[in-house]
Structure 1
Amino acid sequence: MDITKYVLAVDDERSNLLILEKALKQTCHLITTTSPFNAIPLFEKYLPTLVLLDIDMPEMDGFELCEKLKAISAEQSTNFIFITSHDEFDYEQRALQLGAVDFISKPLNIPICQLRINNQLHITRQTQLLKQSHAALAKEREHLRIILRSINDSVIATDEHGFITFMNPAAQRITDWDQQQALGEHISKVMTLTDATTGASLLNPIEHAIHEERAVAMALNTQLISKEGFTYRVEDSASPIITEHGELIGGVIVFQDVSETVEMVTRMTHITQHDQLTGLPNRLLLHDRMIQAISKAKADNEQVATLVIDVDNFMYVNDTLGHQAGDEIINHIAKQLQMIAGNNVTVSRLGGDEFVFMLGAVKSYSTINYIANKILSTIKEPFTIKESEINVTVSIGISIYPQDAYSVEELIRHADTAMYKAKKHGKNCYWYFSEELSDELQDRVAIERELRDVLNRQALILHYQPKFSLKSGDVCGVEALVRIEKSNGQMLAPDLFIPIAEETGLILALGKQVLEISCRVAKQWHIQGNPTSIAVNIAAQQFNQSSFCQSIESLLKKYALPANLLELEITESALIDNFEQAIETINQLKAIGVSVALDDFGTGYSSLSYLKYFKLDVLKIDKSFVDSINSDNTAYSIVSAIVTLASSLALTLVCEGIETQEQLDTLKAMNCQLGQGYYFSRPLPLDQVESFMFERDKH
């Protein structure tokens, strides 16, 4: 055991320290104390690599002690792990703010303690090794300028034609060439350089340096293949050798074996390039590999096929079986896709239930068809989760380079378009991108053009759908719904332009104008003596802007509008993009006095968990449940459960999409509070909704 590897543990309960001593006796030199005050001199004496702190201690809590220890030596690279029985958010936030790297829950579990602490010590060791490696390389470069033959760097010199005139011992070892054998050989023969990713041959930098008479660095991602077939990752620089009279007489290259450093960096950066749930390449790594595949296909006159794979009805399956089962399904599909993949294939998870299968060096459509059918048949096979048989299918969209697109972004976008076409044709099938789909893209471009024009002219139209008390039948507010009038006078449906607005970023300008119009109308009604709350749908991109709350507050002040007359409807996607920021934003909105509603409740990934963390005012039951409430026992039970839940949490409940008297009667019997839908009123233009509401009230 390395006794210089000190760990300090502070806990007022001696029993916990005994457990830690037992868990770590083979791992490190553990110093323990039950007194926070004694911990300070111990820390100064040993300067431990890791400190384990109990949070709840009578003399001084773990947070305060942590601050004192960190203040003792700002340069000491000590990590802190908190030992606690608390699982509240505030404790976790405070610990992370203080720089904690991990938590150990009470009661203490020896195997878990060992794993968590060993992991931190291992990370520390790896970091130190990495620093040492970089320091060693820097030192070697310094030696290069002092004593050529005694350095560890490899050095090869050539004449002006690239034929070798000198090799130092380090260069001989890495290339497996003896200097006597190498003398007179061309540099390209002795130093075989290739791209570490693609395997493509690379021109030796010394040839560039001689030709251009300037210093040249080796291309990134370069590997050297020795005479005996060993592979090394190398870094180097090459320079021309020029006499004092300006005559070019050769070149010199200095290079190092950085294989271990590259391997270490690769491990440390793996998480940034791979999906944490499945371990598959993420969007960033996929993008890089597709660029390489396209480049190779262009040179070899081949094709690259991009298959976007989306799980059919995953949201329903996930809501039915739960979050954990949903993750297991995603992992199962990831493993199946990896089993199907072969050479020149990258399987990536873009997020959610969407995957990409990228085939490089494709020579025929039959190969693509075979893979697509293999994916469909393999995924369709039933599997078991927690003793329950699961059946899922996928829809696949396919685009091909260079027929359909030339860039990575276009290939994925076109494959995504084709995938939605496959879903429209019954799912569990694959669909190629085509000119027909290209026409659909052109339609999208036209819609985007209309949208930009309307936003530039500030010519948005709002319709308003009243919300009613199911008990009294009174109007108790409206929901603002945006509409666009095309240049030909026709109305453009929201489901056509809203997705495009989100994809292009125009949703921010759209949302801002809708809020502006809504606040102006609400103020007008308030002045007329008809104060009516207006609910406005807020897009995820809009909600997650850092200036969102400030913009809401500014609008309320601009129109002198009481905050209770504005309600903001957000969806689950707005909450999951940035969980902590969403909590802060909702708290700020509540402080302003604005009501916050969660739209489409019950259809999201884990909506119930949000009720614990977010201070919501309103839940809106999705229309899909109301549609089948009288024909589907499951839908009935879900709505009934949500009604009970909302009542117990003092949340206002709004049922969307009420269209029949039968639905209304059922919801009233459940004691649902509010509702909206075609049964009461369709969304109406401003003048019609005013007549509907205010003339109605007079009667």
Structure 2
Amino acid sequence: MLFFNTNRAAHEILIVDDTPQHALELMELVSEYGAVFFSESAADAFKLLDQSLPDLILLDIDMPDMDGLQMCRLMKQDPRYRDIPVIFITGHDEPELELFSLEVGGIDFIQKPFNPKVCKLRVKNQLQLHEQQKLIEQSKDQLKALVEQVPVHITYWDENWNNLYSNGYFPEWGKSANSSLYIDNLLPIELSQQIKLRGQSGIDQNFTVQLQVNGEEFFYQVFQSHNVDPHYTNSHLITIIDITQENQAKRSLFFEKERLRVTLNSIGDAVIATDNNGLVTFMNTIAERMVGWRLRDAIGLKVERVMKLQDSNTKQELSNPLYLALKEQRIVSLVLNSEIVSKSGSCYAIEDSAAPIRNEKGEVIGGIMVFHDVSNAMALANRMSHVASHDSLTDLPNRISLQESLVLACQTSIDTKHKVAVLLIDIDHFKYLNDSLGHQYGDELICLMAQRLTGLLPENCTLSRVGGDEFVVLVSGVEDIQEIKSLASSLLLAMHEQFKLAEQFYSISISMGVSLYPDDATNSEQLMRHADVAMYRAKQEGRNRYNFFSSEQEVALLQRNQLEKQLREALKNHQIELFYQPKFCLDTNEIIGVEALARMFDKEGNVIPPSQFIGLAEETGLILALGNQVLEKACKAAKQWFDLGYAIPISVNVAAAQFSGDGLAQNVESVLLKYQLPPNLLELEITETSLMENVDNTQNKLVKLKRVGVNISIDDFGTGYSSLAYLKKFDIDVMKIDMSFVADMLENKHDYEIVKTIISLGLSMELELIAEGVEEEAQKLALLELGCKAGQGYLFSKPLPFNDFMNLLTN
């Protein structure tokens, strides 16, 4: 079988290899140097030699029938072929084989796998050497010229190691060829000493020398032949080849392989490699641990035997994705819920991918699987999923989980024709208990409540915690509303048993709102919202009860939502207006101050009573924004009056949420600075209840406010639960007598005595007294008689818009 290059060149190369793939690779590499012939056996090669003598033979050592060494030996015994140079092709790297190959007549080696640069260089060198040998027969001068062109250092020495011939010099040595030089003077001393020492044996030698030249490391292959010229006894032919690049390439390959081995054994993923038939060729240490096989025992086994896969749920055996990757020549991932069963029977949940391995031609030569243990990750994911859907304190389903259950229950009820009930439970006065005992015991109460409720619920109920002290009971498959009433009643009754907290027993009550699907709602969100409305109504009706949602509550809910929307828009657009109710001196009827009162209007311009939107603002958290707008507009108005010559103090009501916050004093100071209003013209009216919620905190806040320079008034005094022991410590300027006492003080003896006591208390504390709700002249006279000098009410003026108050002020 003959292969030749159509680009005919001066050289002819014969490749003898029983592997066509290797022969094709060599032919592609060396075709540029001449015509290439190819034979698959030694017998066919000898037939080709009879037809034409090639310039070079690339001979595979491992061949059937007759190996490369036998063929080379026969060639060297035949005068017709003995001068044909032979480069052996081998995948072996044993020094003995190399030596034996040279002994039978080989002149060089090409290692498998082929290094293109090294391979081409070796072929090129040998072709040039052979060409030189042919030319020697024609002319000695031509031979010398050709030899000097060979990139191999060729030297000839007499028995005393004087140089007889050298084909050139090695620039890195810095020494020129000179026949008169002794070997120690021409070659590096390390090299010359080895050559002389080996020359004493009288046999040909082939060895490698490592030299340091000018700080650089070089490697040389030395071929030493003894007594090659009959005219010189004990003469020596020394051939020196620079194999530095080849050696560096081998070392780089070794280091790369070692680095790859260390890397694969260091990574956290398991790696298994196979050939095209799925037979294991490699496993790293992680893979060994997971499959329970040692690499030495697994090599050559089918991958499915070493790496047994099964479905984690059904335990059915799974096909290894490696085969699909090899078949379709693409990356393939393992199916979900897969686990590996080790040799010992242990199971690991895994994620993996399989991919084909390709050679330099892109051909698939095997496959590789990379996988890792995700057992802990899956457990963590399950835990995270549980955490995301359950309350951290009670481990009950949270709002997210409840919403999913609600949607499913509502969908199921459509098919079963049964109802779904939601019971929204709220602990009465929980904030008071939580603040008085501390949050630790408040959390303990929540947990005890969850346990008690859970023990009372039937199987078709699910308990969730959706807020601080709010629980939801979801009841599915309701056939009769009476069972919901019974359940609600039993829950209320169960709360009569006291809870033990901090070694004391506490009585707790709950309020419940009940909503039914599809009676009260068309979807799960509406069902929850209506339960909230019903619970709110239960609290309004006195707490410790349950309330079913009704259409009337829906109307009230819509009205409330509409009012909230109007309030938000009014705050956003700064449409809250202030009315001003003057304060009068009861003796002279002079205006001595004014109270700013917030007013809101509907789209038709009608006044919305403060009693409707103030409470709503507190419930929705809008009271802070409302209070800030009232404060700013009041200061702005007072500044306008001040600039007109009227230094009238203006009082502003401070909501409990404003006073309990941290930024009240700073905010007040900022507004005063903005409008350049003297601080003594601003009075803050704080309810008695707000002052007494946290005495220590109240004292600190009052100190900060007094530092700003404003006056402090106790609003609605007598309606709360004041402690005089604490009250005397507060830095208060004004005490306002609530209108509920003033209104009936002339008809009701008790109210009169209360007013009298408040006035006496205020005078003893040297506080300014102002009576609210003065509507009759007789009330005015009675207040004066008791010692109260100031008041406000319809007897003098109702709250007025800005312009009307200006008219009153100027007149």
Per-residue CA deviation, residues 490-513 of structure 1 (Å, 9 max, x unaligned), is 321234334555677765654453
2:740 to 650, 656, 659: 659
For structure 2, which runs of at least 5 residues remain unmatched after alignment? 1-264, 274-281, 292-302, 325-329, 706-710, 746-751, 775-790
Q: TM-score, normalised by structure 1?
A: 0.52
3-state secondary structure, aligned to 2:424? strand
Letter in 2 for 1:393: S
Question: Is the contact made by 2:398 and 2:465 (CA closer than 8 Å) also made in structure 1?
Answer: yes
After TM superposition, give the deviation of residue 463 of structure 1 in Å: 2.9
Q: Which residues in structure 2 correspond to 1:528-677 (within 5 Å)?
A: 528-537=645-654, 540=657, 555-567=671-683, 597=686, 600-601=689-690, 604=693, 607-611=694-698, 614=701, 615=703, 617=705, 623=716, 626-627=718-719, 638-639=721-722, 641=723, 643-652=724-733, 654-655=735-736, 657-660=738-741, 661=745, 662=752, 663-671=754-762, 673=767, 674-675=769-770, 677=772
3-state secondary structure, aligned to 1:648? coil
After TM superposition, give the deviation of residue 454 of structure 1 in Å: 3.9
Counterpart residue number, 1:429:
545
After TM superposition, give the deviation of residue 289 of structure 1 in Å: 1.2
Q: Which residues in structure 2 correspond to 1:105-184 (within 5 Å)?
A: 142-144=269-271, 151=286, 166=304, 177=315, 182=317
Q: Which residues in structure 2 correspond to 1:468-483 (within 5 Å)?
A: 478-483=594-599
Question: Is the contact made by 2:517 and 2:527 (CA closer than 8 Å) also made in structure 1?
Answer: yes
3-state secondary structure, aligned to 1:610? helix
Relative contact order (alpha carbons < 8 A, sep ≥ 6): 1 or 2 greater?
A: 1
Letter in 2 for 1:280: T
**1:518 aligned to 2:645?**
no
Q: In the superposition, relative to structure 1, how do residues 369 and 469 fare at CA in structure 2: closer, same or farther (>3 Å)?
A: farther
Select the structure of larger CA radius of gyration. Answer: 2
Question: Is the contact made by 1:287 and 1:408 (CA closer than 8 Å) also made in structure 2?
Answer: no
Question: Is the contact made by 2:715 and 2:735 (CA closer than 8 Å) also made in structure 1?
Answer: no
3-state secondary structure, aligned to 2:465? strand
Letter in 1 for 2:608: L
Q: How far, CA to CA, are the matches of 1:446 and 1:233 in structure 2? A: 58
1:292 to 385, 404, 415: 404
Q: In the superposition, relative to structure 1, how do residues 304 and 474 fare at CA in structure 2: closer, same or farther (>3 Å)?
A: farther
Q: How far, CA to CA, are the matches of 1:309 and 1:340 in structure 2? A: 14
After TM superposition, give the deviation of residue 340 of structure 1 in Å: 2.5
Q: In the superposition, relative to structure 1, how do residues 538 and 429 fare at CA in structure 2: closer, same or farther (>3 Å)?
A: closer
Q: Which residues in structure 2 correspond to 1:95-494 (within 5 Å)?
A: 142-144=269-271, 151=286, 166=304, 177=315, 182=317, 237=351, 256-259=373-376, 262=379, 274=391, 279-280=393-394, 286-298=398-410, 300-301=412-413, 305-312=421-428, 332-341=448-457, 345-348=462-465, 350-351=467-468, 354-359=469-474, 361-364=476-479, 365-382=481-498, 390-400=506-516, 404=520, 410-452=526-568, 454-455=570-571, 458-464=574-580, 478-494=594-610
Q: How far, CA to CA, are the matches of 1:183 and 1:443 in structure 2? A: 63
Per-residue CA deviation, residues 315-346 of structure 1 (Å, 9 max, x unaligned), is 67789999998777666544432432465523
Question: Is the contact made by 1:602 and 1:622 (CA closer than 8 Å) also made in structure 2?
Answer: no
Per-residue CA deviation, residues 218-269 of structure 1 (Å, 9 max, x unaligned), is 99xx99999xxx99996x657697999999xx99995634448846995999
Q: In the superposition, relative to structure 1, how do residues 349 and 509 fare at CA in structure 2: closer, same or farther (>3 Å)?
A: closer
3-state secondary structure, aligned to 1:670? helix
3-state secondary structure, aligned to 2:579? strand
After TM superposition, give the deviation of residue 480 of structure 1 in Å: 2.7
Q: In the superposition, relative to structure 1, how do residues 323 and 457 fare at CA in structure 2: closer, same or farther (>3 Å)?
A: closer
Letter in 1 for 2:563: I
3-state secondary structure, aligned to 1:380? coil
Per-residue CA deviation, residues 510-554 of structure 1 (Å, 9 max, x unaligned), is 4453233212111123223223133243684899698x8886555
Letter in 2 for 1:482: A
Question: Is the contact made by 1:383 and 1:391 (CA closer than 8 Å) also made in structure 2?
Answer: yes
Letter in 1 for 2:557: L
Q: In the superposition, relative to structure 1, how do residues 427 and 653 fare at CA in structure 2: closer, same or farther (>3 Å)?
A: same
Q: How far, CA to CA, are the matches of 1:371 and 1:400 in structure 2? A: 14
After TM superposition, give the deviation of residue 434 of structure 1 in Å: 3.0
Question: Is the contact made by 2:580 and 2:805 (CA closer than 8 Å) also made in structure 1?
Answer: no
Q: How far, CA to CA, are the matches of 1:684 and 1:482 in structure 2? A: 10
Letter in 1 for 2:485: N
Question: Is the contact made by 1:471 and 1:668 (CA closer than 8 Å) also made in structure 2?
Answer: no
Counterpart residue number, 2:800:
685
Q: How far, CA to CA, are the matches of 1:493 and 1:286 in structure 2? A: 39
Q: How far, CA to CA, are the matches of 1:432 and 1:667 in structure 2? A: 45
Question: Is the contact made by 1:154 and 1:254 (CA closer than 8 Å) also made in structure 2?
Answer: no
After TM superposition, give the deviation of residue 457 of structure 1 in Å: 5.5
3-state secondary structure, aligned to 1:280? coil
Q: In the superposition, relative to structure 1, how do residues 508 and 667 fare at CA in structure 2: closer, same or farther (>3 Å)?
A: closer
Q: In the superposition, relative to structure 1, how do residues 182 and 500 fare at CA in structure 2: closer, same or farther (>3 Å)?
A: same
Q: How far, CA to CA, are the matches of 1:459 and 1:215 in structure 2? A: 65
Letter in 1 for 2:738: G
Question: Is the contact made by 2:353 and 2:370 (CA closer than 8 Å) also made in structure 1?
Answer: yes
Per-residue CA deviation, residues 288-312 of structure 1 (Å, 9 max, x unaligned), is 2113313432553476543322334
After TM superposition, give the deviation of residue 431 of structure 1 in Å: 1.5
Question: Is the contact made by 2:516 and 2:527 (CA closer than 8 Å) also made in structure 1?
Answer: yes
Q: How far, CA to CA, are the matches of 1:675 and 1:170 in structure 2? A: 90
After TM superposition, give the deviation of residue 422 of structure 1 in Å: 1.5
Q: In the superposition, relative to structure 1, how do residues 523 and 216 fare at CA in structure 2: closer, same or farther (>3 Å)?
A: farther
Question: Is the contact made by 1:525 and 1:532 (CA closer than 8 Å) also made in structure 2?
Answer: no
After TM superposition, give the deviation of residue 140 of structure 1 in Å: 6.5
Q: How far, CA to CA, are the matches of 1:652 and 1:553 in structure 2? A: 18
Letter in 2 for 1:685: L
Q: In the superposition, relative to structure 1, how do residues 262 and 339 fare at CA in structure 2: closer, same or farther (>3 Å)?
A: same
Q: How far, CA to CA, are the matches of 2:420 and 2:687 in structure 1? A: 42
Counterpart residue number, 2:82:
none
Q: How far, CA to CA, are the matches of 2:551 and 2:305 in structure 1? A: 60
Q: How far, CA to CA, are the matches of 1:231 and 1:398 in structure 2? A: 52
Q: How far, CA to CA, are the matches of 1:644 and 1:437 in structure 2? A: 45
3-state secondary structure, aligned to 2:649? coil
